[in-house]
Amino acid sequence: MTPLNLTLLLGAFTIMTTNCSSNHVAGREFGKTPSGEAVELYALKNAKGVEGDISTYGGVLVALKVPDHAGALGDIVLGFDDFQGYQIPPPYFGAIVGRYGNRIAHARFTLGGVEYNLAKNDGDNTLHGGKRGFDKVLWTAKNATGHSLELAYLSKDGEEGYPGNLSVTVTYTLTDNNELKIDYSATTDKDTVVNLTNHSYFNLAGQGEGDILGHELILNADRYTPVDKGLIPTGELRSVAGTPFDFRQPHAIGERIGSSDEQIALGGGYDHNFILNRTGDGLSLAARVTEAKSGRALEVFTTEPAIQFYTGNFLDGTIRGKGGKVYGRRSAFCLETQHYPDSPNQPSFPSTVLKPGAVYRTTTVYRFSTT
């Protein structure tokens, strides 16, 4: 073999191994943004046939099909069949939420002596990253293996009012234990605040199959953060004992949702941040939900200190989702793992500040099984 042939052969081998190791599985076209950019949909599948579909727009988990007690797959997240569906005022179906999930009071905070003013998109407050949060941007699919997908987004300094170029990576992985694992990481070039989550709306009976009031819930939380009428935490860490917020033993979600508790009234149901009972820094059980008819169970594990439990109180039946299903009030629940809302203005809450040189890293696992 001549040296030239050897070089060509080695070159071809390098290309082959590079492609094999990245093993990128292509997505399919999901639609086009109003400015003409292609939106892709990536399918994940595990060895047991569980399937997830993720869109590069908003990093949205568009569909998640998991087995019931008879082994029949059912799609248990709310969403739309096509990209156009996602062009409505946001319920944030399935989306990655950021740069700051949940609310920041008066849409401002001070960091390092500088006041930052954010986009107001929830009365006087900012919610879920502002007018064009991470749920409405196009993410770049970096690595798709068929069972995992890495999405990347660069949020520019000043975007929605936040300081610092924030480089974000979110990786969805479907494991063979029927878990959907989401790993979030971010770095910045200026002090900033970060609080990333996923806003999937679950109905374990199947998307569009009625309300979730009969689902049984356990929340591993002794305390929660009561809110004011703008759903901003008052700063108090209140015990759940003796209140409709006590889910330390299983309760149907609907059992106490009509109670006269002042906090239930303010949320229009449950729309509150629960402080998780944790030991150590690793993954720890946050919640368990079961649905009797399908026999489906969902457990949520997270490295985060808290979880927003939201019962779809703002859904009102005006949205028709996948397969033309009508999404009525409380037809799904969200379990958004997170830091506490309004942390940038509440020094006693765990910090959400990210500094240059540090890496933001959190993981949440949704594990599916049957009872």
Distance CA 180, CA 366 (A): 5
Distance CA 262, CA 343 (A): 23
238 neighbors 225 (Cβ within 8 angstroms): yes
Q: Interaction with ligand GLA in 164-223: which residues (CB under 6 A)?
A: none
- Is 199 a residue of the active site? yes
Least gap, CB of 177 to ligand GLA (angstroms): 27
Asked whether position 13 contacts ligand GLA by CB under 6 A, the answer is no
Asked whether position 286 contacts ligand GLA by CB under 6 A, the answer is no
97-116 footprint of ligand GLA as x/- string (CB under 6 A): -----x--------------
Quick one: which of 54, 334, 335, 354 contacts ligand GLA (CB under 6 A)? 334
- Smaller CB separation from ligand GLA, 30 or 92: 92
Task: Please state the length of the chain.
Answer: 371
- Is 255 a residue of the active site? no
Q: Interaction with ligand GLA in 219-238: which residues (CB under 6 A)?
A: 231
Distance CA 286, CA 274 (A): 9
Quick one: which of 8, 132, 314, 326 contacts ligand GLA (CB under 6 A)? 314
Identify which range of 28-36, 110-118, 175-183, 306-314 contacts ligand GLA by CB under 6 A. 306-314
Least gap, CB of 314 to ligand GLA (angstroms): 5
- Picking from 130, 196, 189, the residue whose alpha carbon sits closest to that of residue 163 is 189
**Per the structure block, which two tokens stand in for 182?**
């989401």
Asked whether position 327 contacts ligand GLA by CB under 6 A, the answer is no
* Residue closest to ligand GLA (Cβ): 310
Q: Tell me the catalytic residues.
A: 199, 336
